[in-house]
Chains A and B, each alone.
Chain A
Amino acid sequence: MPKVTFVEHSGTEHEVDVPVGTSVMRGAVDNNIPGIDADCGGECACATCHVYVDAAWLDKVGLPVPGSQEASMLSFAAVAQPDSRLSCQITMTEELDGLLVRMPEGQH
């Protein structure tokens, strides 16, 4: 099963299995990774599953579609960066095995 590494803002790393077809947010929640609130449960309604995608993975993960709900939400998310994504909108594939994402300082 593909793996994702979540790096907390403090630097603590968590490597977990995330099944293909599942969102990266769900992988964090199912493994009780600190730093992902996911208030809306993956509906792209709250921007509390915000992550920074590691530079080496940005091409494969891609950026939010301009004008999409995700892009609009992220444009006002606290501490957003050019490599920001909402992890509920990243679906796990075999190609993303080894993905590394970092958590922002907070989700609110």
Chain B
Amino acid sequence: MSDVSARVVIVGAGHAGGSAAALLRQYGWQGPITLIGGEPVPPYQRPPLSKTWLHGAGALADLLLRPAAFYRSSRIELQSACNVLAIDRVGGTVRLAQGDDVAYDHLILATGAHARVLPVPGHDLAGIAVLRSLTDADHLRSLIVPGAHIAIVGAGYIGLEVAASARSLGADVVVIEREARVLARVASTPLSDFFQRRHAEAGVGIMLDVTVDAFEGVGGRVAAVRLTDGTVVACDAALVGVGVVPNDALAQAGGLACDDGIVVDRAARTADPAIHAIGDCTRRPLPLYGRTGRLESVPNATEQAKQAAADLCGRAPPPPEVPWFWSDQFDIRLQIAGLPLDVAEIVVRGDPQSGSFAIFHLTGGGVVQCVEAVNAPAEFMAGRMMIARRRPAVASRLRDVSCSIRELAG
């Protein structure tokens, strides 16, 4: 167990870093906690940025993870708009872009991820947005006005959530996707088909199997997206949502093992006993799936924040959680539990045409690895339970909606 009066420095004040600071206090950490973030605001929730925030609903106070006053009253020194340049593991300090070095006994890296840049000509024209931060969201909000033509590059969750929001705000939307279906990297084919249909019905233009060649500008401002097949899609603004890259450069420069993310164990420890890493920036064990992976999600940020805080405070490690994700688009609530790894069979329960159904992913042995639930909260919760238990399920019974989900979850 650590000395709970030692100094903790947390680099990164997003969901993971902010949660770790709060949990350390919950778990009885007495020593100084310094929370250093590059953004000018206290830790906030990112999921609403593509949804309610774009609609102009809600105030900053509602977005914040905890009230601004919380940090002072909890003796957490929050240093906002402050960038960390380097870690000195021998000296036990972090170097800031402005001001003095900050000394640590324990360091938690919660540096997050950044939006991947599309390396094509014109990618830095005005009117091209990404969506990761509050600043990005405010920029995007200024571009999505009624009647505007918005080109969205990438049909992942960010692209589709923004497409849904932009349509309801009265913009014209075209989504440009390199793969043959939407959500290709993150969802099963039946789910892709469902979302593709719903977006098309809502008037979203969807172009598949196409690649961006360049952004074309007029007077330094984006005016069109040119595709490699020669097609030109005129637009007033564009959003690029083609995935994120973990911010592991600080850790790499500090000599910590990184492999598309900072490598950590089940307690969010790096190989350096003084350094933990949590959230989007990590490559972590996935105990249910017997491998490591990167999880870009709020539940992952909070789970690893719990692991690190418990480890530092000498508490029993928290039980492993089933990874999960959610997305809201139009009137669709998508909830996903688990990961579709080692899947031999896909079972659709319910009729996608009805707008409420669930897709179960099973191994060859019938173990449920993942459930994608569309407007089906009971199936999501039951699936999450089945994934945790690792007991084989019978595909024909899962498919049969006359078998109650309660009975199937056992």
| Interface of A toward B, CB cutoff 8 Å | 29-30, 32, 34, 37, 39-41, 43, 45-47, 69, 72-73, 75-78, 106, 108
Contacts and interface: CB of A to CB of B under 8 A. Distances in A.
Interface in B376-397: 377-378, 380-382, 384-385
Nearest to A80: B381
Interface residues of B, number: 31
Contacts of B25: 32
A34 B66 CA distance: 14
B263 interface: no
Interface in B287-301: 298-299
Contact of A34 (B26, B70, B377, B406): B26
B302 A39 contact: yes
Interface of B: 22, 25-26, 45, 47-48, 65-67, 70, 74, 298-299, 302, 319, 321-322, 324, 326, 328, 333, 335, 377-378, 380-382, 384-385, 406, 409
Contacts of A106: 319
A41 B48 contact: yes
Contacts of B47: 40-41, 43
A11 to B, nearest CB: 16
A30 B74 CA distance: 11
A78 B381 CA distance: 9
B381 A75 contact: yes
A106 B321 CA distance: 11
A73 B302 contact: no
Most buried by A among B298, B299, B321, B377: B377
Contact of B335 (A30, A45, A77, A108): A45
A78 B377 CA distance: 14
**B interface: dominant SS:** helix
Contacts of B385: 76, 78
**A interface: dominant SS:** loop
B266 to A, nearest CB: 15
15 contacts: A30-B70, A34-B26, A39-B302, A40-B298, A41-B47, A43-B326, A46-B299, A46-B324, A72-B378, A73-B380, A75-B406, A76-B381, A76-B384, A76-B406, A77-B381
Given A40-B298, A75-B406, A76-B409, A32 B319 contact: no
A30 B61 CA distance: 11
B377 A39 contact: no
B10 to A, nearest CB: 15
Nearest to A26: B62
Contacts of B326: 40, 43, 45-46
Given A32-B22, A41-B47, A76-B409, 6 more contacts: A32-B74, A39-B299, A45-B335, A46-B299, A69-B333, A72-B381
B250 to A, nearest CB: 27
B40 to A, nearest CB: 21
Contacts of A47: 381
A40 B336 CA distance: 13
Most buried by A among B67, B74, B381: B381
Contacts of B319: 106, 108
